[in-house]
Structure 1
């Protein structure tokens, strides 16, 4: 849950809608990439 706590912290610090939108997209990409790496490591 560390990623979600970090997202909430950043969201509280930066109230700009433009920044929040890009940060949410970026954080989701990071989470997806880390999940894909975990799945690949588990497969092989």
Structure 2
């Protein structure tokens, strides 16, 4: 099996990709309402 070279994303590009993935879950749609967010002292 051949090894596939891993393309290293820049720190900023990786952060933007993660941000976009999180936004899609948080924003919600009319059929699937927004994810409920609760900030506590232990988990922010």
TM range (shorter): 0.3 to 0.5
Of structures 1 and 2, the larger Rg is shown by: 2
TM-score w.r.t. length of structure 2: 0.41
User: TM-score, length-normalised on structure 1?
Assistant: 0.41
